[in-house]
Amino acid sequence: MTTDEKKVALVFGGSRGIGAAIALRLAEDGFQVALTYVSRPDKAEELVAAIKAADGQALAIQADSADPAAITAAVAATVAEFGQIDVAVVNAGVLRFAMVDAFSLDDLNLMLDVNVRGVFLAIQAAVKEMRDGGRIITIGSNTAIRTGVAGGSVYAMTKAAVASMIKGIALDLAPRRITVNNIQPGPTETDMTSDMIPRLIEMVPLKRVGQPGEIAALASYLAGPESSYMTGASLTIDGGFVL
């Protein structure tokens, strides 16, 4: 894509935290941005307003990534509004902690539905509308490499599944020059992790947590032309947590 060519990004789970930072960064990079949310329309609309105030274009779409129909509808709404999709970022995810003997079936199913099935279905739906040469970016977790804490087995399992999944999908989409890469953040300052950060920070060699903007900067690179020779990769950004 040339710098003056129209570019459209769809960010699944883009209203808060890492997803919001990515949506903002891609808007700054010149993308028209659609973003999905589940339960906080106020946060989603605040983000859309911020992008528009900076002369960008944005659209908020209510879509639960546990619902296959909602995923498909979000893709359709993006195309209806902006005409195309060049980049899809799959950030939607849920986190539940419990020891193996106490993990409920409902929480297990929810995490599999959103963190694994939802990721696959979002990619599947997006690539049907994506132009050749596009980009798929998933937001995994460094727990795919090192769980780190007791009670995190299911979350780690789902993120390891994403890291494995994108390798096969990268091969599927290589003939279309669509790259598929996975970002694996470590402890990052978001709503999801705020109560865990004090005890995790001591496990990070750099002795700090990540900021959503740092993850967004890596997503910006993966969405841009300079990353066109990278596909099927999982890139860990965690202050040395997994070392």
What positions carry a catalytic annotation?
Answer: 155
**Adjacent-strand bridge partners of 62:** 37
Residues 87 and 10 sit within 8 Å (Cβ to Cβ): yes
Q: In whole angstroms, what is the distance from residue 100 CA to residue 109 CA?
A: 14
Say which residues have a Cβ less than 8 Å from residue 164's Cβ, sequence separation at least 6.
Answer: none
Q: In whole angstroms, what is the distance from residue 39 CA to residue 187 CA?
A: 23
Q: In whole angstroms, what is the distance from residue 185 CA to residue 174 CA?
A: 25
Q: In whole angstroms, what is the distance from residue 172 CA to residue 43 CA?
A: 35
Phi–psi pair at 141, nearest 5 degrees: -165, 150
Residues 140 and 182 sit within 8 Å (Cβ to Cβ): yes
Angle formed by the axes of helices 153-173 and 118-129, nearest 10°: 20
Q: In whole angstroms, what is the distance from residue 183 CA to residue 163 CA?
A: 9
Q: In whole angstroms, what is the distance from residue 105 CA to residue 99 CA?
A: 13
